[in-house]
Amino acid sequence: MNAEALEARLAQARAWLRQDPDAETRDELAGVITRAAAGDAAAAADLDDRFGARLAFGTAGLRGELGAGSNRMNRVLVSQAAAGFAAYLRERAGGATPTVVVGYDGRRNSRRFALDSAELFAGAGLHAILLPRLLPTPVLAFAVRHLAADAGVMVTASHNRPNDNGYKVYLGGADAGSQIVSPADAEIAAHIQQVADAGDISALPRSTEYETAGEDVVNAYIAATAAVAPAPASAKGLTWVYTAMHGVGWETFARILDAAGYPRPKTVGEQLSPDATFRTVAFPNPEEPGAMDLAFAAARRTRADFILANDPDADRLAVAIPDESADGGWRRLSGNEIGLLLGARAARAHAGTPGASLACSLVSSPGLAAIAAHHGLDFHETLTGFKWISRAPGIVFGFEEALGYLVNPETVRDKDGISAAVAVLGLAAEANERGKTIADLLADLGETYGHFASGQVSIRVDDLSIIGKVMLALRMLPPTRIGDTAIASAEDLLEAAPGQPSGDVLRYRLADGSRVIVRPSGTEPKLKVYLDAQADSAAEARDVVSALEAGVRTLLEERS
């Protein structure tokens, strides 16, 4: 960085420092400024990273690393976002007083960001309602609908790294409590930028005259979720393990189990209470290697029938079952396997209902379409993200392969790992009554709807530009084969037809009927490749996916 550029960055950082109300990030930034001004090249590069860009507000809201600067999550950025969102809501309300609900989880600074938001919403003249304590994301999504609010904000980074946090936005009214989609994201971002350009968050009006919601909101969520699958008598015979992955799921889930009549599980005590350091896992995501090792150990000790795991904000659900062929004797089901189990459950309940539909993202298993057709239901394929899935016409069930499931759309228009857990418990209890297991239910799916298998190749990067380069290389030099199998057709969803899902996605259909989809992750620094196959048997379908995985890794090495 030359001297002129450094001075510009130092000026930005000093202006930021003057408005920062957080002593920790002020001290952090002051140290970087001092070292950079003294000629420390590493500090100058750090300063450029913090202020060379702005953490973008999009359809996923905000999400990023905690720290000082416009490219980090902090009180300045959150205050700008809250004030900008308030301006958007007032404009949208056309003179009425908007109501906005604010929730938060157990991550670092979540409560502080939620309080800042509530104070700024109230100061802007909105009716702001703060949830009574740290709670799962699905409770906030429920509260938006239950309280007929105009909007909701959840402070969470879900299953991201320990030092991340985020700001997820929902809209009520015609949006029915779903997460925002375009063009709302751009309109909100424009209002946030106006606040940022004004330059001093200390000038924004604040008020402590916000409302704190009572327990009745939480109780209503508990009652609605317990009703998803009340326990049959056979539930008493279940032995199972639960982990909250150091998140906020257990308190609410435990009360729902009691209300629905299910036996309490054996719990992973080390991971049961909220812990912002996530001390027992390298990465607090049930999909990540090692994240469920403690749950597997507990299941082996107790000879459990299955394991249920929520991610830290409890909007996702993982399920694991005994499997002698797996390392350690336990196997985590894929999101597609769980999605098809729950999809078949919903399809049986709504079979033949006019207008009722199943929906999943375009990267999720095509098996859901087969289930919908079998039961005479409509089917919708959407872009990735529950902001799209939840908007599918007539939806009675939706899922995404990344462990997200929407099982009660009349009350929560977002993925909900707690209601999904109750639904899985219902399936397990019914199977137990017939002398069957969850593994047997999976086998039954194949016999009824066809044998589908899926897989995924994920490449995590430190430099996001690498993902863009790989996507560009695949477009400029299109592959003709993946492994030994020819590509029959290729679609670039950046060029999708009107009315079809569009985005930075490449979809390949192979000569053997299998499918490969490549896309950048929307929430993590990853390139994701999704593999799907259908065959005459489960073993054959798995073999096709294994061959695809090897072919994809070779292809990505060639294009990297």
**What are the catalytic residues?**
158
Quick check: helix, strand or coil at residue 498? coil
H-run or E-run covering 539: helix 538-559
3-state helix, strand, coil in the chain (%, to 5): 45, 20, 35
Residue 251, CB half-sphere, CA atoms under 13 Å: how many? 16
Is residue 179 within 8 Å of residue 169, measured between CB atoms? yes
Q: List the alpha helices (DSSP H) in 176-248.
A: 184-198, 215-226
Q: Is 39 exposed, middle or buried (0-12, 13-18, 19+ CB in 10 A)?
A: exposed
Place of tokens 């590493």: 42
Please choose, from the candidates 110, 133, 115, the residue with its C-alpha nearest in 3D space to the C-alpha of residue 276.
Answer: 110
Cα-based torsion angle of the residue sequence 177, 182, 185, 188 in order, rounded to the nearest 10 degrees: -90
Assess whether the previous peptide bond of 183 is cis (omega < 30° from 0): yes
Question: How wide is the angle at C-alpha 387 spanned by C-alphas 108 and 141, nearest 5°?
Answer: 55
H-run or E-run covering 153: strand 151-155
Is residue 418 within 8 Å of residue 310, measured between CB atoms? yes
Sheet holding 357-361, edge to edge: 378-382, 357-361, 395-400, 404-406
Copy the structure tokens of residue 519: 């896309």
307 Cβ contact partners less than 8 Å away, ≥ 6 residues apart: 240, 241, 242, 243, 292, 295, 296, 298, 299, 318, 319, 320, 321, 330
Is residue 134 within 8 Å of residue 106, measured between CB atoms? yes
Q: Is 407 exposed, middle or buried (0-12, 13-18, 19+ CB in 10 A)?
A: buried
Q: How far apart are CA 289 and CA 460, in angstroms?
A: 13
Please choose, from the candidates 249, 229, 251, 178, the residue with its C-alpha nearest in 3D space to the C-alpha of residue 411.
Answer: 178
Is residue 154 within 8 Å of residue 144, measured between CB atoms? no
Copy the structure tokens of residue 326: 């797996």
What type of residue sits at position 525?
A: P
CA 398 to chain centre: 14
Beta-sheet pairing, 127-130 with 99-104 = parallel
Please choose, from the candidates 89, 122, 93, 332, the residue with its C-alpha nearest in 3D space to the C-alpha of residue 210.
Answer: 122
Rg of the chain (C-alpha set)? 24
Please choose, from the candidates 85, 249, 87, 54, the residue with its C-alpha nearest in 3D space to the C-alpha of residue 156.
Answer: 249
